[in-house]
């Protein structure tokens, strides 16, 4: 897949709350083909403490408007600086990067997102539902402020919610949701993105029930294009670059996951 460096026009910035925001970026040209699970490398200007680009998942795309959306959590210097960008400004990105979630073999799919890890799952749920798959999304977070725009996912299927403090949906960890306590685990495949501990627990559960689980890793990156070998994860076939051979992996491939 050909990669591009584009100066994107910021056409929208929306704060979800004090922790999360969404950027909408318009390409200078026709948007390249993008598949759910892929990411961009964003250049951050105006902060001398930020030197490298930051990898951010593609939250959704609009091929008519040639726009992409990014859902970003304010974590440190880079993501905080970027939160001040204004409509009309330019943002340089390299994209589309990485591999993608694989096409399911059977119907009835479960998507599990934790906090900002929900980011790549919006485009995935739309993509799958447009291809007539039944999609269910489970979203978890510390509190109701961490459950980002659940109505967006409701357009494509059922949505379940858990929060640690019980402020929205069921109380507890994502992995404690009643969906995992049912007699029979009815889903044919699980796609998940979020904190490592959450993804590992989800993956163990899926594998225990004989279902494949694809996870999206957020390893630290320098180049994002396979040149530096900094972003590796240990797999059954040796170290692999998360930026080119990931970020999406079948959890069975990963050492120490099951």
Partner 1 sequence: MIDLGVTIKDLYLKNPVMTASGTFGYGEEFTDFFDIARLGGIFVKGTTGAHREGNAYPRMAETPMGMLNAVGLQNKGVDYFISDIYPRIKDIDTHFIVNVSGSTVEEYIEVASKLNELDKIPAIELNISCPNVKEGGMAFGTSCHSASTVTKAIREVYKKTLIVKLSPNVTNIAEMAVAVEAAGADSVSLINTLLGMAIDAERKRPLLSTITGGLSGPAVKPIALRMVWQVSKAVKIPVIGMGGIMTATDAIEFLLCGATAIQIGTANFIDPAVSVKIIDGIEDYLRRHRHNSVYDIIGGLR
Ligand X SMILES: Cc1cc2nc3c(=O)[nH]c(=O)nc-3n(C[C@H](O)[C@H](O)[C@H](O)COP(=O)(O)OP(=O)(O)OC[C@H]3O[C@@H](n4cnc5c(N)ncnc54)[C@H](O)[C@@H]3O)c2cc1C
- String of b and e for 191-217 (b: at least 16 CB within 10 Å)? bbbbeeebbbbbbebbbeeebbbbbbb
Give the residue carrying structure tokens 């109380």. Answer: 171
Would you say 55 or 114 has its CB closer to ligand FES? 55
Q: Tell me which of ligand X, partner 1, ligand FMN, none is bound by residue 163, counting a contact when its beta carbon lies within the kind-specific cut-off of 5 to 8 angstroms.
A: none
Closest listed residue to residue 49, CA positions, set 82, 72, 24: 82
8 A C-beta contact, residue 231 and residue 219: yes
Would you say 118 or 243 has its CB closer to partner 1? 243
228 binds ligand FMN (CB under 6 A): yes
Write down the least CB distance from residue 151 to ligand FES, Å. Answer: 34
Would you say 62 or 239 has its CB closer to ligand FMN? 239
52 binds ligand FMN (CB under 6 A): no
Closest listed residue to residue 188, CA positions, set 131, 152, 136: 136
Q: Tell me which of ligand FMN, ligand FES, partner 1, none is bound by residue 43, counting a contact when its beta carbon lies within the kind-specific cut-off of 5 to 8 angstroms.
A: partner 1
Write down the least CB distance from residue 55 to ligand FES, Å. Answer: 8
Applying CB under 8 A, the span of 47-55, 120-128, 138-146, 203-211 interacting with partner 1 comes to: 47-55
Using alpha carbons only, give the angle 67, 92, 80 rounded to the nearest 5 degrees: 95
Residues forming the site for ligand X (CB under 6 A): 39, 50, 54-57, 71-73, 75-79, 116, 119, 218-221, 247
The residues facing 49 across adjacent strands are none
Would you say 47 or 178 has its CB closer to ligand X? 47
Residues between 13 and 42 that touch ligand FMN (CB under 6 A): none
What are the C-alpha distances in Å from 233 to residues 54, 117, 216, 246?
A: 18, 18, 12, 9
């Amino acid at each position: 897949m050909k990669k591009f460096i584009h100066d994107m026009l910021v056409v929208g910035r929306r704060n979800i709350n004090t922790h999360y925001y969404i950027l909408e970026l318009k390409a200078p040209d026709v948007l390249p083909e993008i598949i759910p699970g892929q990411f961009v490398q964003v250049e951050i200007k105006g902060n001398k403490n930020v030197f490298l680009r930051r990898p951010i998942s593609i939250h959704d795309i609009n091929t008519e408007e040639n726009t992409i959306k990014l859902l970003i959590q304010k974590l440190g210097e880079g993501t905080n600086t970027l939160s001040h960008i204004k409509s009309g400004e330019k943002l340089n990105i390299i994209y589309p990067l990485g591999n993608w979630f694989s096409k399911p073999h059977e119907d009835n799919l479960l998507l599990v997102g934790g906090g900002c890890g929900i980011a790549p799952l919006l485009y995935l749920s739309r993509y799958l539902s447009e291809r007539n798959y039944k999609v269910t999304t489970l979203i978890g977070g510390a509190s109701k402020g961490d459950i980002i725009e659940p109505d967006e996912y409701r357009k494509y299927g059922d949505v379940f919610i858990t929060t640690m403090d019980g402020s929205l949906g069921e109380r507890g960890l994502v992995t404690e949701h009643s969906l995992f306590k049912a007699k029979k685990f009815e889903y044919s495949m699980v796609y998940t993105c979020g904190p490592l501990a959450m993804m590992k627990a989800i993956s163990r559960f899926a594998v225990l029930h004989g279902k494949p689980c694809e996870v999206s890793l957020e390893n630290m990156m320098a180049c994002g294009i396979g040149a530096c070998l900094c972003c590796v994860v240990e797999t059954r076939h040796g170290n692999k670059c998360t930026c080119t051979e990931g970020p999406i992996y079948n959890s069975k491939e990963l050492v120490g996951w099951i």
